[in-house]
Amino acid sequence: MADKQKEFLKALEGKRIAPLTLDNKWHQLFDGGEIPPEIKPKADELNGLLKQQGNVNNELKKVKALKKKLLDEMVTLADDAASGVPNAEKELEQHKRLIDDCNGHIDDYQDQLLDFPKLIDHVNRDLMILTMDDCYDRLKENNKEIEEIGKWIDEFRKELKKNVVRKQDRELANHRLYSYMHDIFGTEVIEIFDMAYIPTGLKAPGAGTDSGEKKAD
């Protein structure tokens, strides 16, 4: 299996694979929708990274929106400060500091976002290996059962053919026996015997009547 993993990773070189846990078809690989215990921790790790990436993206959007708001306000404050409006200069300086803080947060968030793709891809590839191992094992087990069931079906067919021939032979033998007995002993003698043994379709007329009915006739 190790060789197959190497071939698998080599085939993936240079390719960007979407996170497996976001793919509904990946979840359908597992019967009943339950992720195997040996795979779930890695799937949870991937989901955790995706959630963190989403949170950072949201925070980055918030900070950028705040920065835009502050910049828009600075235009008015700059005009007020030039006009000598009280506290306008002070508020302008405060806005500058807040914008500097925003720039710091933006740089930090953008740096984090640069790291996430590589981290997510690494965990995603590990998850692909675990998934492949699980599917490969199940494929082997299924193939084993398929072969066993196939052998059983083949044997059953052989036995079925043999038993069909045996059944036909016994039915033919019964017909011959009854015909010979009927010719040798006659209908009255044959009717004395248990009618259950007489082949269907060859029962003599009046067969099945009890002795009381015969006496009444």
pLDDT score recorded for residue 2 = 60
pLDDT beneath 50: ranges in the chain: 205-217
At 117, which amino acid appears?
P
CATH code: domain 17-140 is: 1.20.120
With vertex at residue 87, the alpha carbon angle to CA 83 and CA 92, rounded to the nearest 5 degrees, is: 80
pLDDT score recorded for residue 214 = 42
pLDDT score recorded for residue 212 = 39
Q: What pTM, to 2 d.p., does this model score? A: 0.67
Q: What is the pLDDT of residues 50-65, one digit of tens each?
A: 999 999 999 999 999 9
- Alpha carbons 203 and 187: distance in angstroms, whole number: 9
Query: Domains of the chain: which residue ranges?
Result: 17-140, 162-216
Q: Which of 80, 103, 101, 106 is nearest to 92 (CA)?
A: 80
